[in-house]
């Protein structure tokens, strides 16, 4: 059987199909139509191995995880372990550690990915756009001068040049111990 017959080269052969490879979505596809409806993903993640749940660092009151649906490669989330919905419910210790982990995350991403800037933010409540409204999380989105291209504007597509596992490994390895 040739490579063309078994389809192994088709992804590299120009044709009329546009392909967007998103292997990280397979976890949600395999989970069925209602993934994590019964469990909070940010409460569930720390119960598992870091590599399995894309955790890059753990602190005393908060942890850092890659966003499973990133805006850009290296998009991190800083989450308290405690299940709280808004920033004003966080203890002073949680606020301090979320801030410290955010700063470290920015330093590590700058080193690992050579990004030019960041978007930081917290969407609190469904009305504010929070995908997981019941569990507070801070976004750290690395930005590059060249990341605003025609794809999102014309094609409504975001190109992510690295697999989540590769990014998790690079960020976790660069995280100060």
Please check whether residue 72 is in contact with residue 161, taking contact to mean a CB–CB distance below 8 angstroms.
Answer: no
Among candidates 129, 52, 68, 122, which has minimal Cα distance to 94? Answer: 122
State yes or no: is 139 an active-site residue: no
Among candidates 114, 117, 38, 45, which has minimal Cα distance to 80? Answer: 45
Secondary structure of residue 92 in the 3-state scheme: helix
* Active-site choice (24, 75, 135, 137): 137
Interatomic CA distance for residues 141 and 78, integer angstroms: 11
Could you tell me which residues are beta bridge partners of residue 139? 77, 121
Catalytic amino acids? 137
């Amino acid at each position: 059987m040739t490579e063309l017959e078994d389809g192994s080269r088709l992804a590299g052969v120009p044709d009329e199909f546009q392909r967007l490879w998103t292997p990280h979505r397979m976890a949600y596809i395999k989970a069925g139509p209602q993934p994590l409806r019964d469990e909070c993903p940010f409460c569930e993640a720390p119960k598992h191995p870091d590599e399995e749940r894309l955790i890059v660092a753990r602190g005393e009151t908060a942890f850092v995880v890659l966003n499973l649906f990133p805006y850009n490669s290296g998009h991190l989330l800083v989450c308290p372990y405690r299940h709280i919905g808004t920033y004003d419910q966080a203890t002073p210790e949680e606020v301090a550690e979320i801030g410290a982990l955010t700063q470290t995350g920015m330093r590590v991403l700058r080193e690992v990915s050579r990004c030019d800037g960041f978007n930081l933010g917290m969407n609190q409540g469904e009305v504010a756009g929070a995908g997981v409204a019941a569990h507070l999380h801070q976004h750290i989105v690395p930005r590059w001068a060249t990341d605003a291209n025609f794809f999102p504007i014309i094609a409504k597509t975001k190109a992510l040049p690295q697999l989540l596992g590769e990014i998790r490994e690079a960020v976790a390895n660069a995280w100060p111990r």
